[in-house]
Amino acid sequence: MKLTKITMVVLTLFWSAVIATSAYALDAGVENLRQTSKAFAAVSREVSPSVVFIQVEGKVSGTGAVPFSSPFGNELPFGDDFFKRFFGDEFPSLPRSPRSEQPQGERRVMGQGSGFVFKTDKGLLSDTAYILTNNHVVENADKIQVQFQDGQEFDARITGRDPQSDVAVIEIKASGIPALQFADSARLDVGEWVVAIGNPFGLSHTLTVGVVSAKGRTSVGINDYEDFIQTDAAINPGNSGGPLVNLDGDVVGINTAIFSQSGGNMGIGFAIPSNLARNIANQLIEHGGVTRGFLGVIIQQLTNELAESFDVQAGKGILVAQVNEDSPAQKAGLQQGDIIVKIGDQPVSEVGGFRNRVAMTPPGSTIELTLLRDGKEKILKVTIGKLSDDKLLAEGATQSADEIGLSVQTLTPQLAEQFDVKPGEGVVVTELQPGSIAATAGITVGTVILEVDRKKVNNAAEFQRAVKASSDDKRVLLLVRNGDVQSFVILNW
């Protein structure tokens, strides 16, 4: 009996402790959530006074279309996506005009977006506030008005624009407006909390919360120069130009674009990192434009197949497909077929990241490139030039892995003149089998093939012998030229 009573007392104490612990854990969890909520509220209070709603008015010229007559008006009753879900992607969108477009002339258009006052490297000016936004928000504007959270409105003018990075700075005559500071976006971690503030769909000063989903997105195809932060914080039309901030209220990026099939948020948004935006913004303020570094090479991603052909490790380095004449790269000794593995002390693995590093290097500066040439490491010092409109910066060249399905011809003087190459250098594609892997790879009639498996071919016979020598492997590496651009292409059959 005593044992039973003791057991009951122990059990009672045990369950009391369990209940107390659970209640404590619940209270602690709720308190943590409460503190997180307060952190977001604090960020909103700190950042929102610096964020502006931008309204623009401008003139565009173009053509218009006669509306399509439909019982549903200009839209299908449930949208194009509804029908494509059942009929597939081949289902066409509702045509807007069955006839040719009609001249419309010049017309007024309205637009809107977001922006934020920021601290420049020179500090705050007494009578001018600078606002950072996206180029696509203000590029066609001849009238810009900004509105702050407290209702103040100002007319703004463009300080400078950079379409290639989609960054723009506008300015207003005002003083005493709080300005946001930039954080070091290189120190941002995937999984870190971020807050987006802007004016989606014209709903002023809307806050959304999420995490950094990825960094260094360079092949999105939105801008010429890309290094996007990817986030699941809801970004919608009208958020463009608004700040993406950390929990300290410092700017880590400019909200720029969304990935969407519906026009609204789908959990994938892109922001220009603060380090890139800050560099460009300060140049726009100081010079009204952006000066970029120039190397003078065409580069391409080192795929697994290319890495195997060059006998190097995949994923480490990028391939030099072409070195432009009289360029900084040529003067430094870079050669076609080099594998660039480092710029300074930073490893190189992506074309986009390397391109951005070169672009942001001031002309006249010297950089150190570590490369692999014929399997041996080599270090070159290159003095960066200045990029102008008629020069090519490091950029990706087309490459694919396909099979032979073409006919070639020796380059006659007439053909060489037509394709701007020297007679006896390479062969020209004169016939292409439709649907062949060569065609799929991007080779076209008129493509000049300069090398087969790293060996020059000077006539059609040499080309045929070189391809035949690779028949056992059913794989060949070609160096091709289309226009002024050369690239390596692997054909498998």
pTM of the model: 0.65
What number of CA atoms fall less than 13 Å from residue 369's CA on the CB side? 29
What does R_g of the chain's alpha carbons equal in angstroms? 29
Q: Give yes or no for a contact between 235 and 199, defined as CB atoms under 8 angstroms apart.
A: no
CATH topology of domain 293-386: Pdz3 Domain (2.30.42)
Q: Confirm or reject CATH 3.40.50.720 for domain 185-287, answering yes or no.
A: no
- Can you name the residues that pair with 300 across neighbouring β-strands? 319
Read off the tokens for 207.
């806050």
Please identify every residue annotated as catalytic: 136, 166, 240
Domain formed by 401-492, architecture: Roll (2.30)
**Is the fold of 185-287 the same as that of 401-492?**
no
**Domain extent listing, the chain:** 185-287, 293-386, 401-492
Q: What is the pLDDT along the chain (493 residues), one digit of tens a residue?
A: 455 666 666 666 666 666 666 666 666 667 777 787 888 888 999 999 999 999 999 876 544 433 333 333 333 333 444 333 333 343 344 343 333 344 455 667 788 899 999 988 765 556 889 999 999 999 888 899 999 999 999 999 999 999 889 999 999 998 888 999 999 998 999 999 999 999 888 888 889 999 999 988 876 656 667 789 999 888 888 889 999 999 999 999 999 988 766 666 677 889 999 999 999 999 999 888 888 999 988 888 887 878 888 888 887 899 888 888 889 999 999 998 999 999 999 999 888 888 888 988 999 999 999 999 988 999 999 999 988 754 533 343 332 223 477 878 777 666 677 677 777 788 888 777 777 778 878 888 788 999 998 888 887 767 877 887 776 777 889 999 888 888 998 888 7
